A and B are shown apart, each in its own frame.
Chain A
Amino acid sequence: MMETHKNDIGSTFGMWLFLLSEILLFGGLFILYSVYRYNHSQIFHLAADALNRPVGALNTLILLTSSLTMALSIFFLKNRRPERSLFFLFLTIFLGLFFLFNKYFEWASKVHHGVYPNAPGLLERERGEVLFYGLYYSMTGLHGFHVLVGIGLLSVMFVFILRGKIDHERILPLKNTGLYWHLVDIIWIFLFPLFYLIT
């Protein structure tokens, strides 16, 4: 007789290890950022001034709110209110998409002004500015990719709740997805000041 291998603490433990590896993945980029900022502090300062601060702030607000809705979704599923849980999950997905929508237009306007990797106009500028935008596109790009994956996971959870595959007793997949979503949020909390605020 096969036993079912189910271990809730184990799954959460594994999820935290995975998040730790995610932090180290971004960690490499943060190291590069600090070294280049140290080497080109003046130029980084000026380049940061050119980013669209209101859009960055709006996106921060969006992601912070989405973490709240994520937590509420878990809270309501735990309290046997799947329909409310679904509502907040939907809101979380919506906010994630909203974030990417803003990010898209932010990138598009930069590209429109000829500021993108390997752009002829950009390469004529100071070396520090090339690096600033290289890091800007790499770091927000990798973060954006994580938001996209997060939206995918949240959508799977949405379907699972809808079909009753997860409920107040089998809530773990939703909780772990929540952990991932919060991590993506936290990384943005660091990216926002580094690129938009420190000038």
Chain B
Amino acid sequence: MKITTEAGERHVLAITVDNEAGVLAKITGLFTARGYNIESLTVADITADHALSRITIVTSGPPPVIDQIIAQLDRLVPVHKVIDLADQGAHVEREIALVKVAGTGEKRIEALRLADVFRAKVVDTTLTSFVFEITGNSDKVDRFIALMRECGLVEVGRTGIVAISRGPEAV
């Protein structure tokens, strides 16, 4: 006997939760317990009184599994709202990466030139290194990092994505 797994499609979920201790562990624990994937996760509180947090999770799975993930999340006591941004029409996604490259001479100049093309900002520099800040969707960040590998990449930190629907309505 061999074990096979079903291919899935990518979904971005925006989850509004009470900003209380242990809520992130509850959400991630649900994903591991039920065998769901987390490809990216971001979290920060979003209200002036620090009462609510928004968690953005990128997950994947066949449609019935995505449906079940949303239902399971919605059932958790501290969860206020779960939105599948794919259901809300178009949405925008952004991610920040901090990318450190080290080197001198032509590679250093090429790194700066490519950063300019990608509209990455220099947020730290020494005579032998740069730290770039790049914002964009994950593909753009991936491509920038891939190019930097050729220009002396030494370290990367990425936030994971945040996402919001297009248009005037709040979801």
- Please say whether chains A and B are actual partners in one complex: no
Residues of A within 8 A of B (CB): none
